[in-house]
Amino acid sequence: AATAYTPVAGSISPVVVLVQQEGFMSSRSSAVRAGWERVWEADATMKMAELQLVACATRTNAVRVQECDGYEIDGAVTDNVVHLNETTYDIVLRAAATGEEVARTSITASDDSCPMFVSFSDGETEKEWYSFDDAAVQDFLTPHVAP
C-alpha cells in the first residue's frame, strides 16, 4: 500500500510520473527532481510503498512540426524518418493511497531540434517523436511535492 499524502513544509512527498506511450503508461524519471521519486529495486521492493503522489500525463494533442532524417546505422545514412511533434498533455496529480485528485494542468511541449538518437525496430522506417517538457512538469509538481 502507498503512504498517505501529507504535505508538510520543508519535506518531500515522493512522486512517480507516468507518461502515456503507445497503449501504455511508462515512468519518466527525468521529469522528477533528485530525491522526489522512489525507484523499484529487487533488493528493496518496499521503496515504492513510500510514494505519496502519482502524476499521470495523457497525450491530448500532437501536431507534426518537423521531419527529421539523416539517421545512420554503422556509419551509413538510412531512409529512416522521425516525425517531431509539438505535444499537449493533460497532467493529473493524484494521492497514491486514495486516488484522490490533488491538482490538474495542461502542458504543451515542443522540441527545437531533432532527437540525436532514435531506435528503430527491424523493418521500421518511420517513428513519431512526442515532445515532453520535464521542467514544466517539475514546476507543476513543486508546490505539492516540496511545499
Does 6 map to a domain? no
Top pLDDT among 31 and 141 is at 141
Does 1 map to a domain? no
Query: Into how many domains does the chain fold?
Result: 1
pLDDT tens digits, 97-142: 999 999 999 999 999 999 999 998 888 999 999 999 999 999 999 9
Q: Do the beta carbons of residue 40 and residue 18 sit within 8 Å?
A: no
Q: Is the pLDDT confidence value at 43 over 80?
A: no
C-alpha cell recorded at residue 147? 511545499
Q: Is the pLDDT confidence value at 1 over 80?
A: no
Does 92 map to a domain? yes
Long-range contacts of 22-26 (CB under 8 A, 24+ apart): 25/56
pTM (2 d.p.):
0.86
Does 90 map to a domain? yes
Does 54 map to a domain? yes
Give dist(CA 58, CA 116) in Å, integer.
Answer: 25
Question: Distances from the Cα of 137 to the Cαs of 7, 31, 68, 144, in angstroms?
Answer: 18, 6, 26, 12
The pLDDT of residue 97: 94
The pLDDT of residue 109: 97
Structural domain range at position 86: 15-145
Long-range contacts of 35-40 (CB under 8 A, 24+ apart): 36/12, 36/141, 36/145, 36/146, 38/14
Give dist(CA 141, CA 138) in Å, integer.
Answer: 5
Give dist(CA 2, CA 38) in Å, integer.
Answer: 11
Does 9 map to a domain? no
**Residue ranges in the chain assigned as alpha helix (H):** 134-145
The pLDDT of residue 130: 94
Does 3 map to a domain? no
pLDDT tens digits, 71-94: 998 999 999 999 999 999 999 999
Q: How confident is the model at residue 96 (pLDDT cuts 50, 70, 90)?
A: very high
Going by the DSSP 8-state scheme, the letter that residue 135 receives in this structure is H
Going by the DSSP 8-state scheme, the letter that residue 34 receives in this structure is T
Q: Do the beta carbons of residue 21 and residue 27 sit within 8 Å?
A: no
